[in-house]
Amino acid sequence: MSMTPAQASKMTREICFLAPIIPVLVVEDAAQATGLAEALVAGGLPALEVTLRTPAALEAIRAMSKVPGSHVGAGTLITPADVRAAKQAGATFGVSPGATDALLAACEEENLPLLPGAATASEAMRLLARGYDMLKFFPAEASGGAPALKAISAPLPQINFCPTGGVTAENAESYLKLSNVVCAGGSWVAPQGLVSAGRWSEVEALARAASKLNLRA
């Protein structure tokens, strides 16, 4: 049986509440996936978004999904084919930069909870009308940043967000203090230089610092 949008949003919300930051990961080499996931989970960031931007992404999802304590999602879902491939690889949730009816339907049919993207009030309202009330605010900084997201909360207080896109260690708390933000997505916790060199203790340290960022600081 296909999940409903309300069920999908509930499951996605539970994942978003696991930690204040969801690492947004571009994995170039699947051989690094296990070590990367272990470091991030050990640092207190169990929800991981592996973007489908590299040939290694699906294999990375397969490897990371076997790491104890991890909740691995597939990012940059664009098409129904992406959804099916992500589910088969072991992803337990999906993330998209926007949302189409075809993408939403595919996620519901595959029982893959989705964090759909919205950058405007109209986009958020369309998703809310379908039953989605846990959304990705993307691209966050380019769309007005924390002030824009705060403004959206006034007329749409029933919607929660995970801002992603330009979120950094320096500005993350400006988002996390907002009443309509559950968590934020960021790539700074897994810089490519550290990942390529397998410097997992340093990645773990970055993750640990991010895990201590305060909501409503």
pLDDT tens-digit map of 134-156: 999 999 999 999 999 999 999 99
For residue 1, the model assigns a pLDDT of 84
Across the range 164-171, mean pLDDT stands at 98
Q: pLDDT digits over 93-142, tens only?
A: 999 999 999 999 999 999 999 999 999 999 999 999 999 999 999 999 99
Catalytically annotated residues: 49, 136
Give the model's confidence band at 216: pLDDT under 50 very low, under 70 low, under 90 confident, else very high. low
Higher pLDDT, 82 or 215: 82
Query: Who's near 39: CB < 8 A, 6+ residues apart?
Result: 200, 201, 203, 204, 207
Sign of CA dihedral 2, 5, 8, 10: negative
> Do you find a cis peptide bond into 139, omega within 30 degrees of 0?
yes
**DSSP-derived pairing of the beta strands 47-51 and 160-163:** unpaired
Which amino acid type is present at position 116?
Answer: P
CA 138 to chain centre: 11
Do residues 184 and 21 make contact, with C-beta atoms less than 8 angstroms apart?
Answer: yes
* pLDDT at residue 203, rounded to an integer: 98
Q: How far apart are CA 217 and CA 151, in angstroms?
A: 18
- Is CATH 3.30.750.24 the right assignment for the domain spanning 5-211? no
The identity of residue 104, as a single letter, is L
Return the closest-CA partner of residue 58 out of 84, 35, 38.
84
pLDDT in tens, 32-44: 999 999 999 999 9
Domain ranges of the chain: 5-211
Block residue for tokens 């309300």 = 6
Side chain identity at 86, as an amino acid letter? A
Torsional sign, CA 17, 199, 76, 152: positive
